[in-house]
Structure 1
């Protein structure tokens, strides 16, 4: 209801299979996905299938004690999570923030950023390794872009969270570590990111 009041068109689904069908039929700008969906496909299964076919931003809804679900969701490519119970206004704010960063000002096209063998084209929102495109989730791309914009700097996890997730975001610092692990897995040795113990990360 709050999302509709904020001007968004909302498509709902009561189970995973129906949710996947809604995404295929309507091509939404963002998916809000409950980990605890009933039926044969839970939220993590749906996230895995969505990410295999699309880079649509995904916000996971998890239980307060669902740390394993949060970590798994982020590893599967979710962009953010909200812990239940939550304020509907918080969810609306998260949706706004993710869509604002994901869609950005399309008229602005800056030169691609180079980070070792990784090229980050912010205008086209594409990443490539030695000329070969690499499929990244929305938040993975934004994290890579943030590192590429700050080469040689030791960035704390808090700085990274503020720069990529926004200063109004609150959550576990491990969110950064999970996304970094995914970037390293997808980009390989070309992604020259060093762990700075006790601080965070540095792109060399």
Structure 2
């Protein structure tokens, strides 16, 4: 998926409340974005087939038998498009599940439009490939245990083939490889990967790491690259070769 500058991005708002869809549409169109709307999962999938979307604002509670978590899980089977979950429930378990299935952020209703915009811009900014720089450390390829992490292009490669990572998964892996051998607390990982203060639920970080392990570990049940340090956090033990 290619990403345009944040001010030209295409946003898909999925919410069964007409007022919220219209409010978000008016606001983001006023900020220069292209916005499409959907009231349920069926309309969401139709929009995704018709248009290239840069980010989905997805309500948790939806009609039709499938809630936002179900739809996020379906999207993740075919796409790494960023997802920001919107919810009227302040349930920690829902947040953990949302992050575990690949949501990039989570914001509770009622929300301030400027906060939604700030978080959305942060997600899109992290998804953009870095601009070429001469002699910049960020442009180098980092190799570990048969994997290649391209920080500039935000790609993870295995034998030349790209492995899709969500925004959060890539940021988490980049943080680990750049601090290989160092024990990182959950608070450090949250700050490093979100770029702002966020409710630092321990299990939210854990869920993100579980997803990442499934993609890079030979056996996710017995991880050899990202190991837990009881009572402290996690450490990346893979051998960095360049």
Q: TM-score, normalised by structure 1?
A: 0.89
Q: Does 1:195 align with 2:228?
A: yes
C-alpha separation in 2, matches of 1:191 and 1:142: 19
Give yes or no for the alignment of 1:48 onto 2:68.
no
Match status 1:60 vs 2:85: yes
SS at match of 2:139: coil
2:173 matches 1:148: no
2:98 to 60, 66, 73: 73
Matched, 1:159 2:188: yes
Kept in 1: contact 2:82–2:123 (CA 8 A):
yes
Query: In 2, distance between residues paired with 1:73 and 1:178?
Result: 9
Unaligned runs of 5+ in 1: none
How many residue pairs get matched? 204
Superposition deviation, residue 31 in structure 1:
0.7
Q: Partner of 2:14 in structure 1?
A: none
Q: Which moved more, 1:57-66 or 1:145-154?
A: 57-66
Computed over aligned residues only, the root mean square deviation of the Cα atoms, in angstroms, reads: 2.1
1:3 and 2:32 correspond: no
Matches of 2:104 and 2:195, distance apart in 1: 13
Higher mean C-alpha displacement, 115-124 vs 77-86: 115-124
| CA deviation map 1:6-52 (0-9, x unaligned) | 22211111111101211222211111111111113321221112111
Say whether 1:177 aligns with 2:202. no
Question: Residue 56 of structure 2 aligns with which residue?
Answer: 31
- Separation (CA, whole Å) in 2 of partners of 1:163 and 1:41: 33
The equivalent of 1:14 in structure 2 is 39
Q: Which has the larger radius of gyration?
A: 2
> Unaligned regions of 5+ residues in structure 2, if any?
1-25, 238-242
Distance change in 2, residues 1:191/1:166 (3 Å): farther
Question: Mean alpha-carbon deviation: is it higher for 86-95 or for 188-197?
Answer: 188-197
